[in-house]
């Protein structure tokens, strides 16, 4: 029955020390993940889709912070525990009175004022409660003038970082907080041609 035994060359190939580390040598490598592995994957996928999403930046309204073509991760959980803060970059549904947006349209801007604040833009600077804001993240100083604008409770005032090329609160007024979808977490992809 010697013809049924593996040859010496085969034995030395399998037991050769440099081949032992290979994961395919273990039987566990070939098994499908069990129910618990599938359940873990399902829980992670549900949590990811519930509390975060990936968005595409279609315009230059947030330039230079975000560029056209960037893919960003938006997290939707933090505003369950805290209220929006100044300088948060948020995604939101446009206000009800604004036409020209689809039902599922989502915009992205920076919060510059909260409920109870007074906003004004003149001489190329943003003033919140009469204090000029130091904004080193904007593309250029605003070329428009905005008279005193009171932000009511339950609203925020949002502006794009590219102030002169952004459709934002200086056009439609304060944004209701309930329109906020989530907060910008990070840029996960930036096209190489920018």
Active site residues: 61, 109
- Would you call 86 helix, strand, or coil by DSSP? coil
Q: In sequence order, what are the residues at sequence separation of 6 or more whose Cβ sits closer than 8 angstroms to the Cβ of residue 19?
A: 13, 25
94-99: list long-range contacts, CB under 8 Å, 24+ apart.
Answer: 94/172, 94/179, 95/172, 95/173, 95/175, 95/176, 95/179, 97/172, 98/172
Extract the tokens encoding 132: 């000029």
39 Rama sector, left if φ>0, alpha if ψ -120 to 50, beta otherwise? alpha
The two tokens of residue 17 are 């020390």
């Amino acid at each position: 029955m010697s013809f049924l035994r593996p040859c010496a060359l085969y034995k030395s190939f399998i037991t050769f020390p440099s081949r032992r580390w290979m994961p395919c040598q273990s039987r566990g490598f070939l098994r499908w993940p069990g129910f618990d592995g599938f359940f873990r994957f399902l829980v992670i996928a549900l949590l990811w889709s519930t509390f975060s999403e990936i968005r595409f930046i279609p315009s230059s309204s947030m330039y230079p912070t975000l560029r056209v073509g960037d893919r960003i991760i938006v997290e939707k959980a933090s505003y369950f525990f805290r209220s929006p803060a100044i300088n948060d970059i948020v995604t939101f549904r446009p206000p009800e009175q604004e036409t020209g947006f689809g039902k599922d349209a989502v915009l992205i801007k920076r919060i510059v004022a909260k409920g109870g604040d007074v906003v004004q833009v003149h001489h190329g600077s943003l003033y919140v409660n009469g204090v000029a804001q130091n904004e080193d993240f904007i593309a250029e100083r605003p070329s428009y003038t905005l008279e005193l604008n009171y932000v009511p409770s339950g609203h925020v005032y949002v502006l794009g970082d590219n102030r002169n090329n952004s459709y934002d609160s200086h056009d439609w007024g304060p944004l209701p907080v309930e329109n906020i979808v989530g907060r910008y977490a990070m840029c996960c992809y930036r096209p190489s041609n920018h």
